[in-house]
Structure 1
């Protein structure tokens, strides 16, 4: 076994040991449903802000965005801008109101003045769907990362496994670990793992940024010039249109579709955060709305800084590694940041050993990133199944707390298994791109129902159910019949062709449809609206009176 592999495996085992230790410690502090779902609501604004950052800066941010910038230059940075601006929507529209109005899940807000069973069932279906889309991205990132670390390429073997089998084994390993984190540690364990991971990720990204700038004597012009040369795209690398909104000479229709796809992606990124279930439940882990607001401000600062650093990581990878080497290792570009770490280690820390050590350290940070995010996602979806479906729909609010938490743990196993299976088929796709699909689904199904519920007095149960299912189904169906799934070499099923929907992101169609369905369901329903319940929700959401 090579020195690089030995260093890598030792660091990985150390990381897993530390995070499992945190999880086991947290399990001893988890005694009630409030502890399992909301960490006892005892986290400070800074702690929760770091945890939100840890939850949000996923494999899509670290691996996916760096890869997209390395391969597509200017266009790759669009993801960084979209992900960051989205936090303003979350801060201004939902953070404080959600903390005041809910208890454990998104459905607590939606069902406050509606009929419980249909709304909670719809919210649980939406939560699980969004979480699985997001989980697939993290699993794909994990497979690509560990393949790079262990030197697994087509034609090579590791522990008797070929490259494809080793990637699948990695995806399964990540799935098993995330299930352990959630079932053993609950929200407390997950939050502390996310805080540790946020510190590691910020430290790793900052170190790599300083080294990239040092390699070019802190001259940004040289960095961008070398990145453009090594990309093989020349000056186009630094201008818009290389991947999104591309103009196709002689084909006005395709040019139109390309521009619509760009607009669709922007809508999904900016509106998606405010509908992500694993982010929404983080607002319940703090004692009050003021702390929720503070935690979002901390998160914006941390996340904003990180996304600025992705510029140096992406352009640095293009300049120092080159797009050919990146694509040869992973077609989606998901290994650009770790490959850059290896190149920087060789340059600054003494040849092969320095490169191996730097690669192993940064990959361990990326692996911590994936573990923390998948734990948060699995917790959000399993909590929704247990609290919304089992406790509120099946047991009609009469569930025993211990049994409810056990159902959440069983749900984590099932959701993890589904995500693992789907991720095995999605290994060719860029992880940032996959997360953008999750954002589109969240913005289409969850956001219309949340905003109508909080701000529209006449909104009814039928409207809420139509908004969630209408937005959710339209987004998922459009993705299923888009080039993401078939017709392209990078599709899930490249040899099939049933892509009648021309856009790769459904947001521009499915998000308005979610709002339209919510409005239509309300207008057509004959059910009376409770003015008193709306007034109570309004007072609670704005003042925190009666909040949990």
Structure 2
């Protein structure tokens, strides 16, 4: 066990060792991406990896895609600082998978080809719905990308001892360049293998640290909790309400956050896109079961790691470290195994950011190239190979935008950006997905009002909430700027029901009838998978 005299003020461990481990990981994954990219000839190869992955492989990749920097660094930090209330994030993220499994996984796989817009526009008017779906996809991916990029800047400032803004900007640029390279070369197949490797490493690394922490406490979880209380000098970290029970507003805020987390997952475009990489609906179901097991095991680990960080490092040291609560997991690794374990865990955290960013980028590229370029601009008849070329150009543009945005968001409230992505996904996408799959009266106008209304209300409410201005933790920290009139930090409790209501009321009032044949075909296809394989081969 290491003592933490200077760890809070300088980089713990050896920056050169961390860089060496980073370099080795990047080199190995690059080789894998190059090998995987040899068969990228068609759009199906580039977007959906030729539908060549098994349920187990895809489930591991989903876990790799879903367990982002927010899951590993953010949740461990939240538990270390706020105890029970921090663990509610883990529960929310895990329960969300039941919604994805029961409502959308198999039905989406049966109905679509490459993107969420394929499903939404199947029985509605193609052009306006595809544009709306591509817009919401790009917005969600952009905010999720910002969070990952800003997370990379914060993580590396701790690990490599880079404290100045310029150094962190260089780091974010390197992460962005690597991401562009992975996706340009490997497409979905290369990205999937990076996500599988990262999921295995992350769960194994977290597992080793969990066993280590328990071993230090005689495998007695109660003893670990007692130690955490003693070090934190705060028995309240074992009780509910330390963060979300302070006032009536914070209780409603927690409901709002929970709603966004639980409903957002089933509408995250980069998670939905993973269901198209398997050959059958049975494998799609199997991949979600695999993902639930892997993600569930990981979130159990976060409980031990969070309280382990509180007991072995201490909330005061974590709060004072560069990166604040996000540094809890790396500081715990340094406390347990010194510079080598810190280097390995930080490389895994870095890989986590890289894999999630690659998944988001290819989703954004597929959405623009497939939904806007091929389906709207070229009316479904693009020249051979043109769609993949447009997708690759989109990757470069999205990467550059994410680098610039990440540099701007560096040091900002990363949780705000992740919450925004979930809230926007749940508000803009989920009502339309559910209505498209389950309600025959749903119309194109209803879809457009629901998607644009959900998107606009979620963003508007967050702009005028305490996360942007008016509080100590706001993005705009100056006292002179305060335009917050919406009291909650997460808009989900307003924007999600509003989007469902708009979709329903506009469809009921809309006199136009959608094509009943298309509705029947979509119902049969979504429930049975008949016709899906034929659509894929074209």
TM-score (normalizing by structure 1): 0.93
Residue 89 (str. 1) matches residue 87 (str. 2): no
Residue 126 (str. 1) matches residue 152 (str. 2): no
Q: Which runs of 5+ in 2 are unaligned?
A: 1-10
Counterpart CA distance in 2 for 1:415 and 1:524 is 38
Residue 519 of structure 1, aligned match among 504, 516, 526 = 504
CA offset at residue 3 of structure 1?
A: 7.6
Q: Which SS does the other structure have where 1:503 is aligned?
A: coil
Residue 508 of structure 1, aligned match among 493, 497, 501 = 493
TM-aligned CA distance change 1:193 to 1:27, over 3 Å: same
Whether the 8 Å contact between 2:114 and 2:276 is mirrored in structure 1 is yes
Match of 1:325 in 2: 317
Residue 14 (str. 1) matches residue 40 (str. 2): no
- The runs of 4+ residues in structure 1 deviating greater than 3 Å are 425-434
Residue 462 (str. 1) matches residue 463 (str. 2): no
Whether the 8 Å contact between 1:59 and 1:431 is mirrored in structure 2 is no
Match of 1:34 in 2: 44
Match of 1:533 in 2: 518
Counterpart CA distance in 2 for 1:331 and 1:366 is 13
Match of 2:6 in 1: none
RMSD over aligned Cα atoms: 1.5
Q: C-alpha offsets along residues 258-289 of structure 1, whole Å, 9 cap, x if unaligned?
A: 11101001101111110000000100000010
Counterpart CA distance in 1 for 2:350 and 2:449 is 38
Whether the 8 Å contact between 1:61 and 1:432 is mirrored in structure 2 is no
Q: C-alpha offsets along residues 324-344 of structure 1, whole Å, 9 cap, x if unaligned?
A: 221222454111101100000
CA offset at residue 6 of structure 1?
A: 2.0
Match of 2:470 in 1: 487
Residue 375 of structure 1, aligned match among 330, 355, 358 = 358
Residue 498 of structure 1, aligned match among 483, 486, 491 = 483
TM-aligned CA distance change 1:425 to 1:135, over 3 Å: same
Number of aligned residues: 521
TM-score (normalizing by structure 2): 0.94
Residue 297 (str. 1) matches residue 309 (str. 2): no
Q: Which SS does the other structure have where 2:210 is aligned?
A: helix
Counterpart CA distance in 1 for 2:296 and 2:12 is 38
Whether the 8 Å contact between 1:467 and 1:515 is mirrored in structure 2 is yes
Match of 1:141 in 2: 151
Counterpart CA distance in 2 for 1:498 and 1:430 is 17
Q: Which SS does the other structure have where 1:334 is aligned?
A: helix
Residue 82 of structure 2, aligned match among 66, 72, 91 = 72
Residue 278 of structure 1, aligned match among 270, 283, 288 = 270
Counterpart CA distance in 2 for 1:411 and 1:19 is 22
Match of 1:542 in 2: 527
Residues 116-195 of structure 1 aligned to structure 2 (within 5 Å): 116-153=126-163, 163-195=164-196
CA offset at residue 526 of structure 1?
A: 2.6
Q: Which runs of 5+ in 1 are unaligned?
A: 154-162, 247-254, 346-354
Whether the 8 Å contact between 2:43 and 2:385 is mirrored in structure 1 is yes
Q: C-alpha offsets along residues 114-146 of structure 1, whole Å, 9 cap, x if unaligned?
A: 111100000001001111111122112211211
Residue 339 of structure 2, aligned match among 353, 356, 379 = 356
Counterpart CA distance in 2 for 1:477 and 1:494 is 19
